[in-house]
Amino acid sequence: MNNSTARKTLRIGGALSLVLFPFMFMVVFALNVKDPAEIVEFRLRHEPYVAAEIMQELRDPIASQRYYVLPHLLGYLAMPLLVAAALTLAYVSFRTQPWFAIVGATMTCTGAIFMAGMLAMWLSFMTFLGMTPISARLLLNRGDPL
Protein backbone atom coordinates (compact mmCIF):
# COMPACT_ATOMS: atom_id res chain seq x y z
CA MET A 1 0.00 0.00 0.00
CA ASN A 2 1.53 3.29 -1.02
CA ASN A 3 1.30 6.60 0.83
CA SER A 4 -1.65 8.04 -1.13
CA THR A 5 -3.70 4.87 -0.69
CA ALA A 6 -3.04 4.90 3.06
CA ARG A 7 -4.03 8.57 3.31
CA LYS A 8 -7.22 7.94 1.35
CA THR A 9 -8.10 4.94 3.56
CA LEU A 10 -7.51 6.97 6.73
CA ARG A 11 -9.54 9.88 5.36
CA ILE A 12 -12.48 7.60 4.47
CA GLY A 13 -12.25 5.80 7.83
CA GLY A 14 -12.18 9.10 9.71
CA ALA A 15 -15.16 10.43 7.77
CA LEU A 16 -17.11 7.25 8.44
CA SER A 17 -16.32 7.41 12.15
CA LEU A 18 -17.61 10.99 12.30
CA VAL A 19 -20.94 9.77 10.92
CA LEU A 20 -21.23 6.29 12.45
CA PHE A 21 -20.35 7.15 16.06
CA PRO A 22 -23.17 9.67 16.61
CA PHE A 23 -25.58 7.42 14.70
CA MET A 24 -24.70 4.41 16.86
CA PHE A 25 -25.20 6.39 20.05
CA MET A 26 -28.56 7.68 18.84
CA VAL A 27 -29.54 4.03 18.39
CA VAL A 28 -28.19 3.23 21.88
CA PHE A 29 -30.27 5.98 23.49
CA ALA A 30 -33.35 5.03 21.46
CA LEU A 31 -33.06 1.42 22.66
CA ASN A 32 -32.80 2.56 26.29
CA VAL A 33 -36.13 4.36 26.15
CA LYS A 34 -39.22 2.30 26.95
CA ASP A 35 -41.73 4.95 25.95
CA PRO A 36 -41.00 7.51 23.20
CA ALA A 37 -42.65 10.21 25.32
CA GLU A 38 -39.76 9.87 27.81
CA ILE A 39 -37.40 11.46 25.29
CA VAL A 40 -39.02 14.89 25.58
CA GLU A 41 -40.07 14.61 29.23
CA PHE A 42 -37.92 16.92 31.34
CA ARG A 43 -37.94 16.63 35.12
CA LEU A 44 -36.41 19.21 37.38
CA ARG A 45 -36.03 16.69 40.17
CA HIS A 46 -34.41 13.27 40.07
CA GLU A 47 -36.79 10.47 40.91
CA PRO A 48 -34.87 7.45 42.20
CA TYR A 49 -35.44 4.12 40.53
CA VAL A 50 -37.06 1.29 42.42
CA ALA A 51 -34.40 -1.40 42.65
CA ALA A 52 -36.95 -4.23 42.81
CA GLU A 53 -38.47 -3.16 39.47
CA ILE A 54 -35.08 -2.98 37.79
CA MET A 55 -34.09 -6.40 39.11
CA GLN A 56 -37.40 -7.83 37.87
CA GLU A 57 -36.70 -6.41 34.40
CA LEU A 58 -33.18 -7.81 34.47
CA ARG A 59 -34.57 -11.26 35.26
CA ASP A 60 -36.94 -11.12 32.29
CA PRO A 61 -34.94 -12.52 29.33
CA ILE A 62 -36.60 -10.37 26.65
CA ALA A 63 -36.63 -7.10 28.60
CA SER A 64 -33.06 -7.54 29.81
CA GLN A 65 -31.79 -8.15 26.29
CA ARG A 66 -33.80 -5.27 24.80
CA TYR A 67 -33.29 -2.57 27.44
CA TYR A 68 -29.96 -3.46 29.03
CA VAL A 69 -27.70 -5.83 27.10
CA LEU A 70 -28.23 -4.66 23.51
CA PRO A 71 -27.88 -0.89 24.14
CA HIS A 72 -24.83 -1.29 26.35
CA LEU A 73 -23.20 -3.73 23.92
CA LEU A 74 -23.72 -1.32 21.00
CA GLY A 75 -22.30 1.53 23.09
CA TYR A 76 -19.30 -0.62 24.00
CA LEU A 77 -18.72 -1.48 20.35
CA ALA A 78 -19.00 2.21 19.35
CA MET A 79 -16.10 3.32 21.57
CA PRO A 80 -13.40 2.67 18.90
CA LEU A 81 -15.44 4.89 16.57
CA LEU A 82 -15.29 7.66 19.18
CA VAL A 83 -11.50 7.37 19.32
CA ALA A 84 -11.28 7.43 15.52
CA ALA A 85 -13.59 10.45 15.35
CA ALA A 86 -11.54 12.30 17.99
CA LEU A 87 -8.30 11.60 16.16
CA THR A 88 -9.85 12.73 12.88
CA LEU A 89 -11.01 16.00 14.43
CA ALA A 90 -7.59 16.47 16.03
CA TYR A 91 -5.92 15.95 12.65
CA VAL A 92 -8.19 18.50 10.98
CA SER A 93 -7.83 21.13 13.72
CA PHE A 94 -4.11 20.64 14.37
CA ARG A 95 -3.03 23.18 11.75
CA THR A 96 -4.96 26.05 13.31
CA GLN A 97 -5.14 25.08 17.01
CA PRO A 98 -2.45 22.47 17.81
CA TRP A 99 -2.81 22.53 21.61
CA PHE A 100 -6.59 22.28 21.46
CA ALA A 101 -6.22 19.35 19.08
CA ILE A 102 -3.77 17.51 21.35
CA VAL A 103 -5.67 18.17 24.58
CA GLY A 104 -9.04 17.37 22.99
CA ALA A 105 -7.84 14.10 21.48
CA THR A 106 -6.16 13.07 24.73
CA MET A 107 -9.21 13.83 26.86
CA THR A 108 -11.58 12.14 24.42
CA CYS A 109 -9.47 8.99 24.16
CA THR A 110 -9.13 8.81 27.95
CA GLY A 111 -12.88 9.31 28.36
CA ALA A 112 -13.59 6.63 25.76
CA ILE A 113 -11.48 4.14 27.72
CA PHE A 114 -13.35 4.92 30.95
CA MET A 115 -16.73 4.82 29.18
CA ALA A 116 -15.88 1.44 27.67
CA GLY A 117 -15.04 0.23 31.18
CA MET A 118 -18.37 1.44 32.51
CA LEU A 119 -20.27 -0.24 29.69
CA ALA A 120 -18.33 -3.46 30.23
CA MET A 121 -19.23 -3.29 33.91
CA TRP A 122 -22.93 -2.96 33.03
CA LEU A 123 -22.66 -5.93 30.69
CA SER A 124 -21.02 -8.01 33.43
CA PHE A 125 -24.00 -7.42 35.75
CA MET A 126 -25.97 -9.86 33.63
CA THR A 127 -23.65 -12.63 34.87
CA PHE A 128 -24.79 -12.19 38.44
CA LEU A 129 -28.45 -12.76 37.60
CA GLY A 130 -27.94 -16.43 36.72
CA MET A 131 -26.06 -17.18 39.93
CA THR A 132 -27.48 -18.98 42.92
CA PRO A 133 -27.15 -17.22 46.30
CA ILE A 134 -24.49 -19.72 47.43
CA SER A 135 -22.33 -19.25 44.33
CA ALA A 136 -22.67 -15.46 44.62
CA ARG A 137 -21.59 -15.64 48.26
CA LEU A 138 -18.61 -17.82 47.28
CA LEU A 139 -17.60 -15.31 44.64
CA LEU A 140 -18.00 -12.24 46.83
CA ASN A 141 -16.45 -13.76 49.96
CA ARG A 142 -13.60 -15.44 48.09
CA GLY A 143 -14.48 -18.97 49.01
CA ASP A 144 -16.01 -18.48 52.46
CA PRO A 145 -19.64 -19.78 52.12
CA LEU A 146 -20.72 -18.15 55.40
43 pLDDT tier (thresholds 50, 70, 90): confident
Q: What is the pLDDT of residues 17-26, one digit of tens each?
A: 999 999 998 9
Backbone angles phi, psi at 143, to 5 degrees: 105, -15
Phi-psi region of 142 (alpha: psi -120 to 50; beta: other; left: phi over 0): left
Count Cβ atoms below 10 Å from residue 93 Cβ, excluding itself. 15
**Rounded Cα gap, residues 82 and 90, in angstroms:** 12
Q: What is the pLDDT of residues 129-145, one digit of tens each?
A: 666 666 656 656 655 55
